[in-house]
Amino acid sequence: MGEPAGVGGELTLKCWLRRESEGLSPFFAVDSPSRLESTSRDLALGVPVRRIEAAAEAPAAFRESLPVMAIEVPVDVAPGRPDPANSAAVVRSIDAAVATVRRGEAAAVVTNPIHKATLSRSKFPHPGHTEYLGVLARAPKPTMMLVGDGLRVVPVTGHMALGDAIAALTPEVIETAARVTRDALVARFGIDRPRLAVAALNPHAGEDGLFGEEERTIVRPAVESLRADGIDARGPLPADSLFHAGARAMYDAAICMYHDQALIPLKAIDFMGGVNVTLGLPFVRTSPDHGTALDIAGRGMADETSMINAFKLAARMAGRAASPRDLPSSAHD
């Protein structure tokens, strides 16, 4: 479902309309059927919605209609105006999608964007999807990766203030993010020996301590430990020269020290097509790399490219997990 006042419903409907032209595997929504019908009608999309009771019904329904496992919202939705009263339904949709995949009834979870501030006002205690999915899966180290146009980036620290992110950096947290990334690149992306580029924190990689000591005391020890265990990791590398085309060809993923260091280059290179992936879970989860876009909700202007790419990447990653071919590829909340 994602934030019902955002563009998630529109994205879901538009992805179904492009199911054949984009070669999308069958998926079903975990959402309010009446809300999706209303959105389809208001935006003149003409998508037929079919309520289903179980994931097994989705593949047969998918050709002619959008299958929807019902999670109703208690308060009428006004596009662009999130209501905390609907937050419990948003969370239930995540819970239901994850439970469906963990039961083996679908192969992956693809999430619509949530509105973190609205969820927070309803006492949701987690910073975002990544952290909550880790709790649901009892996964100790859920890790965010962004994928787009020849670039994979992983922020070591996630949704926190920059000062807090710097204070949270240790050799251990860098190593953990790098190891989770290495394992996922092998298991889910089919890269036998992943090459990791580890970004510096400070300008010019600290310039031998002139611009900070973190490279000497935090980043380099982490890289040395990774290399001692046979992981192909290089760094600390100056972040200002890590993302041009020539540099990107030299690694399979960049391990970045904080959120914007990772997401700015990814979104500059592939803003409309990037995909968010959660690593370190026992199931596949992807999402578009943008937010709820409240400013254009209900206007028919949302670009579904990132969501389509999220479906495609989820199907490829789940294929490596040898999911049964007759399962729907995604439970889509």
In the predicted model, what is the mean pLDDT of residues 162-169? Answer: 96
Q: Which pLDDT score is estimated for 128?
A: 85
The string of pLDDT tens digits covering residues 174-203 is 999 999 999 999 999 999 999 999 999 999
Q: Which pLDDT score is estimated for 159?
A: 84
- Strand, coil or helix: 145: strand
Q: Which pLDDT score is estimated for 158?
A: 86
Per CATH, the homologous superfamily of domain 1-139+282-333 is: Isopropylmalate Dehydrogenase (3.40.718.10)
Is the per-residue pLDDT at 85 higher than 70? yes
**110 burial class (0-12, 13-18, 19+ CB within 10 angstroms)?**
buried
Instruction: Report the distance separating Cα 262 and Cα 80, nearest Å.
Output: 28
Is the per-residue pLDDT at 290 higher than 80? yes
Instruction: Report the distance separating Cα 7 and Cα 235, nearest Å.
Output: 39
Q: Which pLDDT score is estimated for 321?
A: 42
Is the per-residue pLDDT at 324 higher than 60? no
Q: Which pLDDT score is estimated for 322?
A: 39
Q: Which pLDDT score is estimated for 271?
A: 87
In the predicted model, what is the mean pLDDT of residues 35-56? Answer: 97
The string of pLDDT tens digits covering residues 222-275 is 999 999 999 999 999 999 999 999 999 999 999 999 999 999 999 999 988 999
Q: Which pLDDT score is estimated for 130?
A: 86
Could you tell me which CATH class the domain 142-280 is placed in? alpha beta
Same fold, 1-139+282-333 and 142-280: yes
The string of pLDDT tens digits covering residues 72-84 is 999 999 999 999 9
> How far, in Å, are 140, 206, 219, 253, 261 from residue 153 at the CA level?
20, 21, 16, 6, 9
β-sheet with 27-31: strand ranges across: 49-52, 66-70, 27-31, 330-332, 108-110, 284-288, 275-279, 143-148, 151-155, 253-256, 195-199, 232-237
Express as a percent the part of the chain with pLDDT over 70.
96
Q: Where are the domains of the chain?
A: 1-139+282-333, 142-280
Is the per-residue pLDDT at 327 higher than 80? no
Provide the whole-model pTM.
0.90
Is the per-residue pLDDT at 328 higher than 70? no
Instruction: Report the distance separating Cα 295 and Cα 298, nearest Å.
Output: 9
